[in-house]
Structure 1
Amino acid sequence: MKKQMLDVIFTSEKRKNILLVLRDRPENMDTLLRLLDTKRTALLPQIRILEEHHLVTVSDGLYKLTTIGRLLVNQIFPLQTTINVFDTDIDYWGTHFIDFIPSHLMKRIDELGPCEVIKPHVTELYDINREFYDATRKSQSHYVVTTFLHPNFAELAIELINNGVALNFILAQDLWHNLLKNHNAVLSDFIQNELVNIFVYPEKMDFQFVSINEYQTMLALFKNNSEVDTKYLLCKGKDSFRWGKDIFEYYLKDSTPISEM
């Protein structure tokens, strides 16, 4: 008797992983064994079930998805990767406000890839994340949407500029007014620099910051009760830059460019 298709795909981690591996390309048995880190005796029965349910076929020693298999995998793969994002730390995601993310990007949140919750010690609250900063130095462009700036933001920005990194800032309006009052000379220098673009967002920002380099995206969220949290997310998916750049563009369309003081 045939299994229900949901049972075929989801009740066996091994079967699900076979389908996900074959999503990219056909593979031979040796490659499947290596990628799935398993033995032939454990893998063959699961492949047989997938074949019996017309999800996988084999030809000339290569296992590949059938048309039905590809259709189903293209549906379940985004779900799996989305689950992986939230599985990083579901307590963090569940207790923090994420409704600021526009619906079209919420649907693509799987692009963030694996995210690590960074929990700085009280003595490290004002330390930069060295891994993220080093990745930014290797990037051509850096994008930030933020309600605050690091106490040493000017020094850090100058180092990045000297390294040839183009800096793009969308600042909360309150932050912009504070910078005008307390860092006028620094702002003037930045505005005149061709590698720096500054914009001001006129509405309330319901997050602390989103910072994007070409390798990682960092998000600091407010708690659901609007409290500030020192923990933040560091996401390293291969498409995290595209996702982060798109959220920057989303806030950019309602922001005002600053070309003079």
Structure 2
Amino acid sequence: MLDLILFSEKRKDFLLLLIEGPKDIEEILEKLQVPRTALLPQIKKLKEEGLVIHEEGIYRLSAIGEIVVEKMQPLIRTLSVFEKNEEFWADRKLAPIPHHLVNRINEIGNYRLIEPDLSHTFDLNPEFVKNLSNSTYVHMFYSYFHPQLPDLVLNLARKGVEMSLVLSEAVYSRLMKNFKEIGNEFLKMKNSSLYIMEKIELEVPALIAISNDIMTIGLFNENGRFDRQYVISFEPQAIIWGQEFFEYYRDMSREII
């Protein structure tokens, strides 16, 4: 049954369409955009397996079909996350993502992968900066140091953006050593909070950034380097998922007062 469902895009899409409710063949063909002659043999197989019922011109899921499709949806969404950029995920360290969030990684949804921009080799990604700049709040964790990040977070705070920043111990030390004035000004602002993650032997992500309408994460590759590739998603579920990811590290950090 698993092979029947997953090894055919037409069968899979047909079943996912019927989870919305019963439909006639014309509506099905219009929504799936497939020829009748290509779809009908696939439907026949699903009927023979007892997953689909056809009565009076209407197709619907059987009781078994409803259970199977409901259970398969998270698996399909999880596979689609990894299959969309297989090489990227194969080369990422996933250990920094806590187990309960790895199990829900399908919630990232229809994300995009932002690649390094050769015209801004030494700059923060312009799209990343633009998305944060249009927000009313930003919750950010980062464990790699970029010399433009201190100015970015301070400018956001100056604009009135509610800022919550969690830094690894190494990044915090460098901030207060080389950008002390920025760090001190940031700490004095009422709309900002700063946390430090101290001496915890734990693999961490390179970056998590959550704002009103966007979730962005950066993960180190298997060689321990951050190659400035970001996963970015605008879906509401992804923002909730990312917020939990951020809070996981914030809750094990100490607030600087």
For Structure 1 versus Structure 2, the TM-score category normalised by the shorter chain is 0.7 to 0.9
Cα shift readout 1:215-258 (whole Å, capped 9, x = no counterpart): 33322222213234233333444421111111111112211112
- Worse overlay, 223-232 or 12-21: 223-232
- Worse overlay, 246-255 or 195-204: 195-204
Q: 1:224 aligns to what?
A: 222
Secondary structure at 1:47's aligned position in 2?
helix
Q: 2:33 aligns to what?
A: 37
* Contact 2:93-2:219 at 8 Å conserved across structures: yes
Q: TM-score, normalising length from structure 1?
A: 0.84
Secondary structure at 2:224's aligned position in 1?
coil
- CA shift for structure 1 position 123: 4.3
Write the letter of the residue equivalent to 1:132. Answer: F
Cα shift readout 1:63-105 (whole Å, capped 9, x = no counterpart): 3322211211122211111111111222221122111111111
- Worse overlay, 55-64 or 181-190: 55-64
- Worse overlay, 247-256 or 236-245: 236-245
**Structure 2 residue 51 is matched with structure 1 residue 55:** yes
Aligned-residue sequence identity (percent) comes to: 31
- CA shift for structure 1 position 154: 4.2
- CA shift for structure 1 position 110: 1.0
Q: Structure 2 CA distance, aligned partners of 1:151 and 1:130? A: 15
**Structure 2 residue 250 is matched with structure 1 residue 252:** yes
Of 84, 87, 93, which aligns to 1:97?
93
* Contact 2:143-2:204 at 8 Å conserved across structures: no
Q: 2:16 aligns to what?
A: 20
Write the letter of the residue equivalent to 1:160. Answer: L
* Contact 2:151-2:182 at 8 Å conserved across structures: no
In structure 2, stretches of 5+ residues that fail to align are none
Of 178, 182, 185, which aligns to 1:186?
182
Q: Structure 2 CA distance, aligned partners of 1:192 and 1:237? A: 33
Q: Structure 2 CA distance, aligned partners of 1:23 and 1:50? A: 14
- Worse overlay, 99-108 or 45-54: 45-54
Write the letter of the residue equivalent to 2:208. Answer: V
Q: Structure 2 CA distance, aligned partners of 1:26 and 1:20? A: 11
Secondary structure at 2:220's aligned position in 1?
coil
* Contact 1:22-1:65 at 8 Å conserved across structures: yes
Q: 1:74 aligns to what?
A: 70
Of 187, 205, 208, which aligns to 1:207?
205
Q: Structure 2 CA distance, aligned partners of 1:79 and 1:128? A: 34
The change in CA–CA distance for 1:33 and 1:137 in structure 2 (over 3 A counts) is: farther
* Contact 1:126-1:151 at 8 Å conserved across structures: no
- CA shift for structure 1 position 132: 3.4
- Worse overlay, 90-99 or 47-56: 47-56
* Contact 2:117-2:125 at 8 Å conserved across structures: no
Q: 2:173 aligns to what?
A: 177
Q: Structure 1 CA distance, aligned partners of 2:92 and 2:234? A: 20
- Worse overlay, 215-224 or 91-100: 215-224
- CA shift for structure 1 position 211: 1.9
Q: 2:106 aligns to what?
A: 110
Write the letter of the residue equivalent to 2:82. Answer: F
- CA shift for structure 1 position 113: 1.9
* Contact 2:233-2:239 at 8 Å conserved across structures: no
- Worse overlay, 22-31 or 86-95: 22-31
Q: 2:80 aligns to what?
A: 84
* Contact 1:198-1:258 at 8 Å conserved across structures: yes
Cα shift readout 1:160-207 (whole Å, capped 9, x = no counterpart): 345543222110011112212222222222223232121111125433
Please report the RMSD computed on the Cα atoms of aligned residues, expressed in angstroms: 2.6
The change in CA–CA distance for 1:69 and 1:121 in structure 2 (over 3 A counts) is: same
